[in-house]
Structure 1
Amino acid sequence: MKIGFIGLGNMGSAMAANLLSAGHEVLAYNRSRDRVVALAERGATPVPTVAAACEGDVVFTMLADDTAVESVTFGDTGIVAALAPGAIHVSASTISVALSEKLTAAHAEAGQMFVSAPVFGRPEAAAAAKLFVVAAGPHDAVTSLQPAFEAIGQRTYVMSEEPKTANLVKLSGNFLIASVIESLGEAMALVSKAGVDRQTYLELLTSTLFAAPAYQTYGGLLARKQFEPAGFAAHLGLKDVRLVLAAGEQLEVPLPVASLIRDRFLTLLAGGGRDLDWSALGALADWEAGGPRPGSG
């Protein structure tokens, strides 16, 4: 399969590399050229523009937010203008439900197909091709993409023929992860101030009540206070919680815990934690109980 790949950050670089390893031809585009050079050494074809990345049957975007996705999709040199009729734009980015609806309509008008396929997993899972893909879009398009999804992930969950459904599911999952980080951080601050070893406490939790990847991964980061380098930056966590709240407002679903998490992220960013890993959210409770500010050592 000839696949354009736009967005070679920590996640995108690993995903594109795994597509190459699976035998797909990859046309690589990124604003920062060093990422393209690194991928070219593994067999990718560097391309100078977004339009050049759209010369295949499929183009993936893996970008930070709505603004970044819109900037490469619309306009005279964007994906919609460059992609051939019948070709597929796959957005693996965590974007708003509203933008997913806009992308679906724009590609349909241009005779193209749009599939949302955000992923669950941190950069280390992306590198190991162990992501979980949440896909939604036209049945034939999603079916044709299975070889690509199998190259980047360990399992694909097809949610709906409406792309926006995948985005809503992804946002709801990120909200749950943030909730776990906050509550786990509060519990860890409580017991550690009483003298309980953080790592021992985590081992108890993850061996009994909470033997789940979210508790294991983020509990480990909290226990070690390992917030740099960021696998997923705190300001992106805030972005996702805001998108969850926007979806809740549109659907008239109150999300009081999400409102609390948004304010906790704002506290973290106001204290200088913008570029820390979003697991630093859980360290706020320790800071407020007299411990060090997240990221200060």
Structure 2
Amino acid sequence: MRTTMTKPVIGWIGMGRMGYPMAERVVKAGYEVRIWNRTRAKAEPLEAKGATLVDAPRDLAGVDILITMVSTGKDVETVLFGPDGVLTGDGVPGVFVDSSSISSEQSAAIRDKLAARGATLIAAPVSGNGKCVKAGKLSSVCSGPRPVFDTVEPVIAAYAAAGVSYVGEGELARFCKIAHNVFLGVVIQNLAEITILAQKAGVPRHAFLDFMNNSAMGSVFTRYKSNALINLDWTTTFTPELLRKDLDLGLTAARALEVPMPVTAATREALQAHFGAASIQDDPEAYLQKDFAALIETVALAAGLTLEPENVPYPTGLEVPQAAE
């Protein structure tokens, strides 16, 4: 493995809401990082912080470890195998790490194509959002050959500072990610329901959610979503459409493996009501691009309530100390 100062040279593709802060942490960890993004302007600020910006994915063919963090399996295919893709360059990175959220079938197909070129894929989807990355609370679940995982784990840990879990061979990490996002959907739906229940009984949302966060049922997720639910801040971290896709993936896997998941099925139908409720908005399409936590407005509508921001700032637990920014 080619190295610089005993560390592998890292290639990174994807500078979106998640990819940029993840790659930034790898740069700060002291690795030589070469980056590419479809929209060059999004990558330029990281170049100023020490990364090397290249002109095309094929320019990353000579790195040791190539990490992708893009939107879809099709995007992964394109940047690896498409015109000017990484595999069209001179050389082949020994290890590919994909932290994108893609299906197990897509991942398996990519793994086979890479194996034919003598390379190994580590599936490494993550849990969290951009603020989690910056606060050091992003985690990752990984699968693939154990010896290769052991080699790349320190790099993954640089951006997934909350923990890196190895779950086995092949695409098992993809199933874990799907299960994770199914839980995400069930939790946000039920959190919205019980918050509206408490509000209709007379409890302010900020008071109820503060109690929940300090209880045995509180979590990193319930705390960092509380400010959105209290103040109706729908700055996008994850869209309802992406959540619906993941619930469908979970239910498809459940049918294939003959696992009954009635709570997930009910959550999928509840989420669909949010798509219908969006039709009363001035711009339904734009509304559905807002954060998935906005589904609390649909729950409130069904309960006969119209929500207003409470204008009570609530700490997310993801605040980054000034010195760490």
Give the alignment's TM-score, normalised by structure 1: 0.91
| Match for residue 44 of structure 1 among 41, 45, 51 | 51
Aligned to 2:237: 231
2:282 counterpart of 1:274: no
The verdict on how the C-alpha distance between 1:62 and 1:83 changes in structure 2, with shifts beyond 3 A counting, is farther
Match of 1:196 in 2: 203
SS in 1 for 2:164: strand
Q: 1:85 to 1:27 in 2, by over 3 A?
A: closer
Residue number in structure 2 paired with 1:70: 77
Question: 1:98-117 counterparts in 2 under 5 A?
Answer: 98-117=105-124
Structure 2 counterparts to residues 251-262 of structure 1, below 5 A: 251-262=257-268
- Code of the residue aligned with 2:16 in structure 1: it is G
Distance between the aligned counterparts of 2:274 and 2:129, measured in 1? 21
Report whether the alignment pairs 1:288 with 2:296: no
- 1:253 aligned counterpart, secondary structure: coil
Contact preservation (8 Å) 1:130, 1:152 = no
Write out per-residue CA displacement over residues 32-57 of structure 1, whole angstroms, 9 at most, x where no aligned residue: 11111111111111111111133201
SS for the counterpart of 1:114 is strand
The number of residues matched between the two structures is: 294
Deviation sequence 1:9-50 (CA, Å, 0-9, x none): 011000111111011111111111111111111111111111
Aligned to 1:250: 256
Between the aligned partners of 2:84 and 2:40, the Cα distance in structure 1 is 19
2:189 partner letter: E
- Matched residue SS, 1:254: coil
Q: How far 1:240 moved relative to its partner?
A: 1.8
Aligned-partner Cα distance in 2 for 1:64–1:261: 24
Are residue 54 (structure 1) and residue 54 (structure 2) matched?
Answer: no
CA distance in 1, matches of 2:89, 2:121: 14
**Is 174-183 or 76-85 further displaced after alignment?**
76-85
**CA deviation map 1:154-211 (0-9, x unaligned):** 211111122x111110110111011010001011111212221111111222222412
Cα distance, 1:203–1:5 mapped onto 2, change above 3 Å: same
Matched, 1:263 2:277: no
Identity across the alignment (%): 29
**CA 1:35–1:209: 2 relative to 1, 3 Å:** same
Asked whether the 8 Å contact 1:18–1:129 carries over to 2, the reply is: no
Give ranges in structure 1 of 5+ residues lacking alignment.
none
Question: What secondary structure does 1:10 align onto?
Answer: coil
Contact kept, 8 Å, 1:25 with 1:44, in 2: the verdict is yes
- Give the residue type in structure 2 aligned to 1:161: E
What RMSD, in angstroms, separates the aligned Cα atoms of the two structures?
2.2
Match of 2:221 among 214, 220, 223: 214
Pairing partner for 1:178 from 177, 185, 190: 185
Cα distance between partner residues in 2 of 1:42 and 1:51: 23
**How many angstroms apart in 2 are the aligned matches of 1:81 and 1:244?**
34
Deviation at 1:293, TM superposition (A): 7.8
Question: Structure 1 residues 86 and 67, CA, compared in 2 at 3 Å: closer, same or farther?
Answer: closer
Q: Kindly provide the amino acid, as one letter, of the partner of residue 159 in structure 1.
A: V
The change in CA–CA distance for 1:264 and 1:38 in structure 2 (over 3 A counts) is: farther
Q: How does 1:116-155 map to 2 (within 5 A)?
A: 116-154=123-161, 155=163
Q: CA 1:244 to 1:81, structure 2 compared with 1: closer, same or farther past 3 Å?
A: farther
Residue 239 of structure 1 aligns to which amino acid in structure 2? K
What's the offset of the Cα at 1:121? 1.4
Matching residue within 95, 111, 134 for 2:102: 95
Shift of 1:59: 0.9
The question of whether the paired residues in 2 share the 8 Å contact of 1:119 and 1:132 is answered with yes
1:167 aligns with 2:167: no
Higher mean C-alpha deviation, range 274-283 or range 71-80: 71-80
CA distance in 2, matches of 1:115, 1:51: 20
Structure-2 separation of matches of 1:192 and 1:7 = 41
Task: State the distance in 2 between where 1:220 and 1:210 align.
Answer: 17
Aligned residue identity for 1:290? G
Letter in 2 for 1:131: L
SS at match of 2:149: helix
Indicate conservation of the 8 Å contact 1:80/1:106, yes or no.
no
Mean Cα deviation higher: 81-90 or 141-150: 81-90
